[in-house]
Every structure is written in structure tokens, then in C-alpha cells.
Amino acid sequence: MNFNGSITVLDHPLVHGHLCVMRDAATKARDFVASARVVSMCLLLEATKWTRTASTIIKTPLSETACMTMAPTKVCIASILRAGLVMSGTAEEIIINTVTYHIWLQRSTKTHEPTYYCDNLPDSFADSGITEIFICDPILATGGSACMAIKMCLARGIAEEDIKVLCILSCTEGLRTVFKTYPSVSIITACVDEKLDDNARIIPGLGDAGDRIFGTYTPHVRPASKTPIL
């Protein structure tokens, strides 16, 4: 696969096994989430492979010793709601001194383009001490949501090469879309499927990740233009 960009596709028995569980339509939400967390951990291990480290002195119960730890730079997670929560939760457990922000986007069922709702990103990543961003979304289909999230991060002062997009499942079309606009971004994925169907769903895919995570198989989303039920 040649996408004219930096892409890493995981090749590990654990990843293959848990991705198989996630693809299976018979898998219940609880088991889907468990497997998603395992694959997310594998993606995060790859994403942090080159994160800077530093030496520190600690005391064990028996003696003093030198240890390697993550350098005092700040890696932040930008989770695309709602499905990205399953990945950001894992990141918060394993990445030392991380901070998590949220971007709420929803893809139109008609145009397949993302609609922006809200975010809590800082005005400036530099002022917040952020040096690297992991954008987390289980599915990269058309690439529209990833591109919008990247654009929002760039507008807040982070360099393109300091952005990594982590996705459990991606497809050729979406990857090409992202790299065409943002060639210096890195993408780490567990699998690349071949195509999208007429509704911009990945084939063979695993279905709607958000619905499968939260068990909402027949979602009823109230459009933002409608008056909320109070």
C-alpha cells in the first residue's frame, strides 16, 4: 500500500484475534468494548514507541535506583466523540501525565460529511505545554472527521508532524483523503479494509463503532437544529 504518507499497520496475533471478535456481528457490546481496549492499547504502544524518555532516581522498598520514565513533555489525547471514548479511556490508564480533550463530530447520513458540535481544545497547545497529539477514533472511513480534527489541532499551534491519528479500522479511500491534505501526519491502524459502500461504510468493516460500544443498534439522534427535550 502506497499512500504517500506515514502509516503503520499493526501485525500481531493479539490484534488479529481481537479485531476478529469486533468484526463478528454476534459479539455483545461488553465483549466488543473489551476487545476494542486491547487493540487500542496495542495502537498506543506503537504510537509511544519514540516518545522521549528521561532518567530519574526513585526509592524501591529495598533500595534507591535509577529508572527510565517518560520525559516531562506532555502528550495529549484528542478523542472524537462518541466512539473515541473507548480509546481515550485506555490512553489515560497507560500514558503517564497525559491530558484528554474531546471533539464532538457527527457524520451526516446524507452527505457523509462531519458536522461539528463542540470541543474543549485549548486556545493554544504551546501555552498548555502540549508537544504531541494523538487523535483517537476507532473508525477512519471517508477521512472527513479525521481531517476536521487535524485542522482544528493545527489551528491551535501544533505542528503537523506532531499529530498521530490512531484508528482501529481504516480503509484505503479515507487514508488517501487524509494524506492528500495532511501528508506529514502519522496514522497508526490495526487494519486497512478495501472499500466503502454507497453509504460510506467500510466493507467488510465492523459496523458502527459507537453503536456497538454503547449498545445503541437503532440510534435516534435528535438533529442539532431541533429544540431539545427538557
Structural domain count, the chain: 1
Beta bridge partners of residue 108, listed in sequence order: none
Domain that holds residue 146: 6-50+73-214
Only one residue has cell 483517537, namely 136
Give the Cα separation of 209 and 218 in Å (integer).
13
Angle at 107 between CA 106 and CA 111, to 5 degrees: 145
Is residue 37 one of the residues assigned to a domain?
A: yes
Instruction: Report the pLDDT value the prediction gives residue 217, as an integer from 0 to 100.
Output: 64
Confidence of residue 113 (pLDDT cuts 50, 70, 90): confident
Is residue 58 one of the residues assigned to a domain?
A: no
Number of C-alpha atoms within 13 angstroms, CB side, residue 1?
A: 17
Find, among 9, 50, 8, 6, the residue nearest to 186 by Cα: 6
Is residue 230 one of the residues assigned to a domain?
A: no
pLDDT in tens, 47-104: 998 888 889 999 999 999 999 888 766 889 999 988 899 999 999 888 888 889 999 9
Give the Cα separation of 42 and 17 in Å (integer).
12
- 3-state SS class at 174: helix
Instruction: Report the pLDDT value the prediction gives residue 228, as an integer from 0 to 100.
Output: 45
DSSP state at residue 222? P
Is residue 219 one of the residues assigned to a domain?
A: no
Angle at 140 between CA 190 and CA 100, to 5 degrees: 85
Q: pTM to 2 decimals?
A: 0.86
pLDDT in tens, 139-181: 999 999 999 999 999 999 999 999 999 999 999 999 999 999 9
**CATH code of the domain covering residue 85:** 3.40.50.2020
| Distance between first and last Cα of the chain | 50
Give the Cα separation of 96 and 164 in Å (integer).
17
Cell of residue 83, nine digits: 466512539
